[in-house]
Amino acid sequence: MTGATTTVSTPTGFRLRTPEDWVDYPVADEASENRMANDVWTRAREGGFTEEQAGQYAEQLRRSVREARRAGAVHAAGVFQLYENGPLTASLLVSVVTPPATGDILGALTAVGQPAHADGTWRRVSTAQIPAIGTVGRVHGIQNVTQDGATMRCAVMHTVVPLPGTANVLVVTGSSPNLAEAEELFELFATIIGTLELTWEGDGPALTPPAASPQGVGS
């Protein structure tokens, strides 16, 4: 007598709670990118940003969303606040990606830590606990992020979540150019990602199949 085979069902969606002052952005296509950029520019101007600051942030977010959409993004959110010492901007992208043929992303990310580089960039590899999910892989640090040919130094956190019943993984990436607040931002990203839940009943944003394999996840 042989044992029964257990089939693991694949989640169809997710839930992620962002702070009240964060805004969700569409990632469906280029037209939605343009609407998002215009909306961000308007909100930033209403929030006290100069035209130049609003334009820079809108374009930065547009590039982030475009790059992520090409790599399988299913959700994006961001925040922009103006303080006495300048603007604070941050974004969060959720993508469904296929691990590279060389192996498992989670295993690769947790296998080795990265020391600081001479140019001031650095990253740390670790694991984290998400209450509704369990152990996940994480990389955070200060990185040079290149999007559509433009490079910006940012505080970046990647969290890699295995998806049951599939070889794909969910990658949640928080980023911000506000390097002076990097530690506080890492704590904020970790808090937001800690609310992540996978769903199976059509609740929450859909986990659509990845558009492409990830490029440089964890870099």
Contact status, residue 139 vs residue 123, Cβ threshold 8 Å: yes
Query: Residue 216 has what pLDDT?
Result: 41
Of the candidates 80, 76, 54, which has an alpha carbon nearest to the alpha carbon of residue 66?
76
Q: How far apart are alpha carbons 182 and 132 in whole angstroms?
A: 26
Identify the pLDDT of residue 128: 95
Cβ atoms 134, 67 nearer than 8 A = no
Tens of pLDDT, residues 160-195: 999 998 888 899 999 999 999 999 999 999 999 999
Q: What is the mean pLDDT of the chain?
A: 80
Q: What percent of the chain has pLDDT over 90?
A: 30
- Ordered DSSP codes for 25-51: E--SSHHHHHHHHHHHHHHHHHTT--H
pLDDT tens track for 3-38: 555 667 888 889 999 999 888 876 777 777 787 788
pTM: 0.80
Domains of the chain plus CATH, in order, are 13-199 (3.40.1000)
Element (H, E) at 60: helix 51-70
Among 52-56, 70-74, 109-113, 114-118, the range of highest mean pLDDT: 52-56
Q: What is the largest CA-CA distance in the chain?
A: 73
Nearest to 207 by CA among 169, 160, 154: 169
Cα(72)–Cα(30) distance, rounded to whole angstroms?
Answer: 14
d(CA 172, CA 106): 13
Confidence (pLDDT) at 134: 94
Q: Residue 177: which of 46, 16, 63 has the closest Cα?
A: 63
Mean pLDDT over residues 132-149, rounded?
87
pLDDT for residue 197: 94
Q: Which of 148, 157, 36 is CA-nearest to residue 93?
A: 157
